[in-house]
Structure 1
Amino acid sequence: MSEAELHILMDETAIRRALTRIAHEIVERNKGIEDCIIVGIKTRGVYLANRIAARISDIEGIEVPAYELDITKYRDDRDELSADLSLEAAEQPGETELAAINVKNKKVILIDDVLYTGRTIRAAMDAIMDQGRPQSIQLAVLVDRGHRELPIRPDFIGKNVPTSRHEVIQVQLSEIDMVDQVTIFD
């Protein structure tokens, strides 16, 4: 891909600001963080969930639990569904133990990097519902690019980016990609 085809939509500063805004909106909508849990969809959603949980902790002075969700077994676009459901505590700095959680009567804030067709979110909601009945499920995404195939709408959005179907949005996070940026290319 040439440099002319690649456009940076969000740099490190823009991502930080978007996540801070989302954290404030989550606190405001839920009138605090009582009974809230943050659940990040593997892979990049987990890192975003950890960042949002840290910002909420800074805002409220109380830690909000952050977990990771592997939805592989719930996807409708896989031929083989061999992976087991895994809803585990997201790794925090210095914390390596992963523990299962109970979502019953919790306000689940589901976090993902890019919302496109909605199928990943549908799979995540199925996975969460298999763990129990939450009070509510709210959705936060860093980028909403449109083209929904299912009636799913995010509650919290970092950036709306109208795209064509042939364009690709790529989120890179420093935890795994050594850089924070969102790019679009053909």
Structure 2
Amino acid sequence: MGLPQALQDCEKTCEQLGQRLQQLLQQHNISNPLLVGIRTGGVWIAERLQQQLQLQETIGVLDISFYRDDFTRHGLHPQVKGSQLPDSIEDRDIILIDDVIMSGRTIRAAMNELFDYGRPASIKLVCLLDIGRRELPVQPDLCGATLDLSDGQLVKLSGPQPLTLSLA
């Protein structure tokens, strides 16, 4: 079973997501958003959206390793690289970006970390792919595509150049 046609070209899906994000920013009068990508796939998507939207500010990067709720079960991932955000995100409009949303737990961890940096004016969630299976009430504001998977199937994003999705 392969990926649906809409997901076979990640770059095109990112481009369409960028167009929809531009519309969302205009609808909500957000003129100076801070794009924040969740390491690693979310960062790759954030970089593409930043280029497409021609935003000058450097994107923020979150490594949520210390904020995961399964940290005590699985320990620390050996590739922890730390987060890179402005000293304060106080009153900023944050566009939180991830590659795949599934249970909502990664997004919960990311928001917990964001609030350690300050109180944003708003947080909008943008994901390339939604595969459902929520465990927490977290929904993206924008999503490139939705995919229903069978039990045991996972999606893997590879990148950053080129971005590709595969089923495992």
Q: CA deviation at 1:34?
A: 1.8
Is the aligned partner of 1:159 residue 2:145?
A: yes
The one-letter code matched in structure 1 to 2:45 is L
Is the aligned partner of 1:87 residue 2:83?
A: yes
Q: CA deviation at 1:114?
A: 0.8
Q: What's the counterpart of residue 93 of structure 1?
A: none
Is the aligned partner of 1:40 residue 2:37?
A: yes
Q: CA deviation at 1:167?
A: 0.9
SS in 2 for 1:30: helix
- How many corresponding residue pairs? 161
C-alpha contact (below 8 Å) 1:73/1:85 kept by paired residues: no
Higher strand share: 1
CA distance in 2, matches of 1:86, 1:27: 29
Is the aligned partner of 1:106 residue 2:92?
A: yes
Q: CA deviation at 1:21?
A: 1.9
| TM-score calculated relative to the size of structure 1 | 0.77
Q: CA deviation at 1:25?
A: 1.9
CA distance in 2, matches of 1:52, 1:107: 16
The one-letter code matched in structure 2 to 1:183 is S
CA distance in 2, matches of 1:141, 1:30: 15
C-alpha contact (below 8 Å) 2:11/2:163 kept by paired residues: no
CA distance in 2, matches of 1:152, 1:160: 15
User: Could you say if the C-alpha distance between residues 85 and 103 of structure 1 is closer, same or farther in structure 2, counting changes exceeding 3 Å?
Assistant: farther
Give the stretch that moved more between structures: 18-27 or 134-143: 18-27
C-alpha contact (below 8 Å) 2:33/2:92 kept by paired residues: yes
Q: Considering only CA atoms, is the larger Rg found in Structure 1 or Structure 2?
A: 1
User: Could you say if the C-alpha distance between residues 85 and 74 of structure 1 is closer, same or farther in structure 2, counting changes exceeding 3 Å?
Assistant: farther
| TM-score calculated relative to the size of structure 2 | 0.85
SS in 1 for 2:43: helix
SS in 2 for 1:170: strand
Q: What's the counterpart of residue 23 of structure 2?
A: 28
Q: CA deviation at 1:85?
A: 9.3
Q: CA deviation at 1:44?
A: 1.4
The one-letter code matched in structure 2 to 1:112 is D
CA distance in 2, matches of 1:174, 1:128: 24
Gaps of 5+ in 2: none
Deviations 1:110-166 (A, max 9, x none): 111111101000000000011100011111111100000000000111110011331
Q: Among the aligned pairs, what percent are the same residue?
A: 30
The one-letter code matched in structure 2 to 1:22 is L
Gaps of 5+ in 1: 90-99
For 1:117-132, list aligned pairs within 5 A: 117-132=103-118
CA distance in 1, matches of 2:43, 2:95: 12
C-alpha contact (below 8 Å) 1:36/1:109 kept by paired residues: yes
